[in-house]
Amino acid sequence: MFRSFSRPFAATFAAALFLVTVPATPAHADVIRAQQWALEAMHTDDAWRTTKGEGITVAVLDTGVDPTHPDLAGQVLSGKDLIGFGAKSGDRAWARHGTAMAGIIAGRGHGPGREDGVLGIAPEAKILPVRVILEGTDPDRAKARKSRGGSLADGIRWAADNGADVINLSLGDDSESAHPEPGEDAAVQYALSKGAAVVASAGNGGEKGDRISYPAAYPGVIAVTAVDRYGTHAAFSTRRWYATVSAPGVDVVIADPDRRYYEGWGTSAASAFVSGAVALVRAAHPDLRPAQIKKLLADTARDAPDNGRDDATGYGIVDPAAAIEAGGKLNTAKADTANEATGYTKQYFGRGPDNTRGASEPAAWLAPLAGGLGALLLAGAVVLWRGGPVTGRRPR
């Protein structure tokens, strides 16, 4: 899933992000903001008339988040590292994917008038970073697979217990052996019961068999597929019955700890956009429960398929402004407690857990995915701007 450019190539890195260098431009602010097409497509200006996400905490369960990035300065709370080893701050293989997702959700830009850099969909929300996985280029990733198999479930519970209103999971397993992990499913249900909405990437297996991806397929999760700037389903985006809504996932501007900006694609980005949209809805209507928010997003989605829903885009493209408006009409009374958290009556979307799998065995989502996607669902990226940092370049 490389984007083709008739421009000089740079070295590629990682399984999750592929980089192609393009010439630097002095008008970097104009380049970056002009290419943030997703904000206009999601009618963020309309939503921002009500809220920009103030008071909402979005947990980003990922490879870590760089709190010193100029676009995220002051937005990142003290989080949790459930891996405990691997790349450190300043290393090349540290917090790249997680920082990109945090920027999509809550980037505030930087410089005079904050006109430079990435602007997130919920720029006044806070980011709670929870490190549950390592970057694909981290030499310790294999070690993490063997010894930190429960980190996703632990991270979901930790986030729910530490103030997360929304939990973003831009990761997943869609390998041939993918199946539900009871501990992860239970953690998701715990978070939902605590009032945290859970959002996950639907998967990047659209050209590789559309296999089920977890955690997207767990009950109650808002599973997000990807569309391009024309609202067309992205070919790489998995088509499955658990798809709730779709969001921009092609040619998305992302920030990086190296102080460069990239244009990436994948259902990771789509998930982050929806997590930001949920943050806006929650800020406007803090009493809504996760199941109500999920239904609200589905009911107000734009460009719904002819039959109301399909596996490619779910109920349509998320529209936070419409959801905010409709949310004011909902009855927020906490009735229907039997199934409010999940919004689904069956135990699993998939074939259910394999009871022969040992409880101490690493979770399947940490295993390498087929097709070279890795566990991080940002498929590729190109460099947009190669400018230096605002306050000094990080060592690499």
Tell me the catalytic residues: 62, 97, 268
CA R_g for the chain: 19
Which amino acid, residue 151? S
Within 10 A of 184 (CB to CB), how many other CB atoms are there?
A: 24
Residues 6+ apart with CB under 8 A from 300: 319, 322, 323, 325, 326
Extended strands (E) in 202-267: 222-227, 243-248, 252-255, 261-265
Task: Say how far apart CA 162 and CA 131 lie, in whole Å.
Answer: 14
Q: In b/e form, how buried is each residue of 324-342, taking b as 16+ CB within 10 angstroms?
A: bebbeebeeeeeeeeebbb
- Phi/psi-derived region of residue 372, left when phi > 0, alpha when psi is between -120 and 50, beta in every other case: left
Q: Which of 81, 83, 75 has the alpha carbon at shortest distance from 105?
A: 75
Q: 96-106 vs 267-284: helix axis angle to the nearest 10?
A: 40
Task: Say how far apart CA 290 and CA 194 lie, in whole Å.
Answer: 9
Contact 279, 166 (CB under 8 A): yes
Task: Say how far apart CA 285 and CA 276 lie, in whole Å.
Answer: 14
Name the DSSP letter for residue 76: B
Strand partners, 253: 263
Residue 38, CB half-sphere, CA atoms under 13 Å: how many? Answer: 35
- Phi/psi-derived region of residue 273, left when phi > 0, alpha when psi is between -120 and 50, beta in every other case: alpha
